[in-house]
């Protein structure tokens, strides 16, 4: 009995088989990410209907299309420190409620200004939901399966976007474009009710914040009976920060600042590639002499290439995760360069676009689990959220980069070569992070901090 009076939460989660309760947490986080993908992409699906019904020019629609991107960045940057201070559960429920209400309200917008403001608010909620779902899920995962499970959860985002496209194609002719936004708002509001009753707080977070033993036991006993007789809970982490440090201070501390900046650079550059190609590839291929239909079909292969995410997670759990993701970025850069060289050969072009999509999307989807594993519990929410928040500006930069290259009349192979450089920068950033992290771990191994309550 004495052995079970004090339970190490970290060890218990690592040694116990993934329980049905942990799968329930996974399911709730997966649905959050699924609806995140649906609502993020929704504006693109209704854009053609907006242009015709409100008699808008394409230029006039630009603020609406970009509003959510700025909201996503703001939501991520604000929510991380809040989740490290007040908890993952509270922020998750609040963010889902926010983007549900804002998306539902968007369906009642009567003019462009109202829709732009509501899309920004929707983006704030979406930007807060994604990193906190990643953080909460990672803190319920055993270390040896964290990347696989978090990457599997992250697959909900492209699935939600793809599902939204099919649903919108059916709903808009039947019920109008507003119905897509009504659906995108109603489902999160129903989900909020479920989360309020079923979503637990992270047990690692509760131990780190020294919350009551009874509260920790109530959650942990649903994972393992070993927690039932516990009188105290501890959690050992090899971290180097003051016990009272907040999330921002940890992420920007001497021990983590270099790794943080390298994660930001990596994710930023990855989104330069993703949004630069998603937004501009149809136009570039059309300018190369293809029909609009063929250019659109070939371009659509790129965002569908996220199939390797789970495999990458398995490789990250088995081998060095920084090097695995760095290899994906490096090969992705080569594939993006190959797109520019394959113009004129449809077969090679489709293959190059598909392979580039698989590698770039896989690398990007693997970054949240990489960040979650890098930071200690007290700073994990801020660390993951700020990487995603800073990275969002890479999407904006990617669109402007390709636009400027086109304006300067750079050749098609030249444009893809410049975009491919971003993948090389991401690869180099992760390799540098691995080199510096190895030295930091070696220096800090003797300074493990014990969190107990």
pLDDT the model gives residue 238: 52
At 246, is the pLDDT very low, low, confident or very high (cuts 50, 70, 90)?
low
Taking residues 168-185, what's their average pLDDT? 88
Residues whose CB falls within 8 Å of the CB of residue 347, separated by 6 or more in sequence, listed in order: none
Supply the pLDDT for residue 196.
Answer: 95
Phi, psi of 299 (to 5 degrees): -65, -35
The pLDDT-based confidence of 451 (bands split at 50, 70, 90) is very low
Residue 114: what pLDDT? Answer: 92
d(CA 374, CA 391): 17
Most confident of 47-61, 128-142, 278-292, 436-450: 128-142
Q: Per-domain residue ranges for the chain?
A: 2-220, 247-444
Q: Provide the pLDDT for residue 443.
A: 43
312 vs 98, which has greater pLDDT?
98
d(CA 384, CA 127): 11
Name the CA radius of gyration of the chain, rounded. 22
pLDDT at 452: 46
Average pLDDT over residues 14-19: 88
CATH class of domain segment(s) 247-444: mainly alpha
Q: Do domains 2-220 and 247-444 have the same CATH topology?
A: yes
Alpha carbons 61 and 47: distance in angstroms, whole number: 8
pLDDT digits (tens, 9 = 90+) for 389-424: 888 888 888 878 888 888 888 888 899 999 999 999
For the cut 50, the answer to whether the pLDDT of residue 188 exceeds it is yes
Could you report how far apart the first and last alpha carbons of the chain are, in Å?
19
Q: What is the mean pLDDT of the chain?
A: 84
Quick one: average pLDDT of 202-216?
Answer: 88
With beta carbons less than 8 A apart as the criterion, state whether 99 and 59 touch. Answer: no
The number of angstroms, rounded, from the C-alpha of 66 to the middle of its chain's C-alpha atoms is 18
Comparison of pLDDT for 100 and 277, the residue scoring more: 100
pLDDT value of residue 209? 84
Q: Which of 244-248, 341-345, 431-435 tops mean pLDDT?
A: 431-435
Q: Residue 184 pLDDT > 50, yes or no?
A: yes
Average pLDDT (317-324) is 91
Strand partners, 237: 449
Overall average pLDDT of the 261-279 stretch: 89
Q: Which two tokens stand for residue 168?
A: 């919108």
pLDDT band at residue 344 using 50, 70 and 90 as cut-offs: confident
Q: What is the pLDDT of residue 39?
A: 83
Share of the chain above pLDDT 90, in %: 32
- The CATH fold of domain 2-220: Growth Hormone; Chain: A; (1.20.1250)
Q: Report pLDDT digits (tens) over 87-136.
A: 899 999 999 999 999 999 999 998 989 999 999 999 999 999 988 998 99
- 3-class secondary-structure state, position 238: coil
Q: How confident is the model at residue 306 (pLDDT cuts 50, 70, 90)?
A: low
Residue 322 reports pLDDT greater than 90? yes
349 Cβ contact partners less than 8 Å away, ≥ 6 residues apart: 298, 339, 342, 343
Rounded CA-CA distance 251/270 in Å is 21
Most confident of 87-91, 249-253, 310-314: 87-91
Q: What is the pLDDT of residue 80?
A: 87
Instruction: Give the residue among 163, 150, 157, 391 at the shortest CA–CA distance from 274.
Output: 391
∠ Cα 20 14 9 (to 5°): 90
């Amino acid at each position: 009995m004495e052995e079970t009076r004090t339970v190490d939460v970290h060890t218990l989660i690592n040694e116990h088989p993934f329980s049905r309760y942990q799968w329930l947490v996974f399911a709730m986080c997966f649905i959050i990410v699924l609806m995140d993908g649906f609502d993020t992409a929704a504006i693109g699906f209704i854009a053609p209907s907006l242009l015709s019904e409100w008699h808008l020019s394409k230029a006039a629609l630009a603020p609406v299309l970009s509003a959510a991107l700025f909201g996503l960045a703001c939501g991520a940057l604000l929510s991380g420190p809040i989740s490290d201070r007040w908890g993952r559960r509270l922020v998750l429920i609040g963010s889902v409620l926010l983007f549900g209400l804002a998306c539902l309200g968007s369906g009642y917008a009567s003019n462009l200004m109202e829709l732009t403001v509501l899309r920004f608010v929707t983006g704030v909620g979406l930007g807060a939901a994604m990193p906190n779902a990643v953080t909460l899920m990672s803190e319920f995962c055993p270390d040896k399966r964290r990347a696989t499970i978090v990457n599997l959860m992250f697959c909900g985002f492209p699935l939600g976007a793809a599902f939204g496209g099919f649903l919108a194609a059916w709903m808009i002719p039947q019920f109008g474009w507003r119905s897509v936004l009504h659906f995108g708002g109603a489902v999160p509001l129903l989900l909020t009710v479920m989360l309020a009753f079923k979503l637990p707080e992270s047990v690692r977070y509760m131990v780190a914040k020294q919350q009551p033993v009874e509260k920790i036991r109530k959650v942990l006993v649903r994972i393992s009976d070993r927690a039932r007789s516990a009188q105290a809970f501890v959690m050992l982490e090899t971290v180097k920060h003051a016990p009272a440090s907040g999330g921002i201070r940890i992420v920007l501390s001497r021990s983590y600042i270099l790794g943080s900046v390298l994660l930001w650079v990596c994710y930023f550059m990855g989104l330069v590639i993703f949004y630069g190609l998603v937004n501009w590839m149809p136009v570039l291929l059309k300018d190369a002499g293809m029909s609009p239909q063929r250019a659109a079909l070939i371009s659509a292969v790129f965002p569908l290439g996220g199939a390797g995410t789970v495999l990458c997670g398995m490789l990250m759990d088995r081998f060095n995760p920084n090097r695995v993701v760095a290899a994906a970025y490096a090969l992705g850069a080569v594939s993006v360069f190959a797109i520019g060289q394959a113009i004129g050969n449809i077969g090679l072009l489709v293959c190059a676009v598909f392979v580039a999509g698989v590698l770039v999307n896989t690398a990007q989807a693997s970054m949240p689990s990489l960040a979650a594993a890098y930071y200690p519990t007290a700073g994990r929410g801020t660390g993951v959220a700020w990487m995603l928040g800073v990275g969002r500006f890479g999407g904006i930069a990617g669109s402007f980069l390709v636009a400027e290259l086109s304006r300067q009349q750079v050749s098609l192979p030249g444009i893809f070569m410049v975009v491919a450089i971003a993948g090389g920068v991401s690869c180099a950033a992760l390799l540098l992070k691995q080199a510096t992290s190895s030295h930091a771990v070696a220096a800090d191994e003797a300074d493990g901090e014990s969190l107990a309550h």
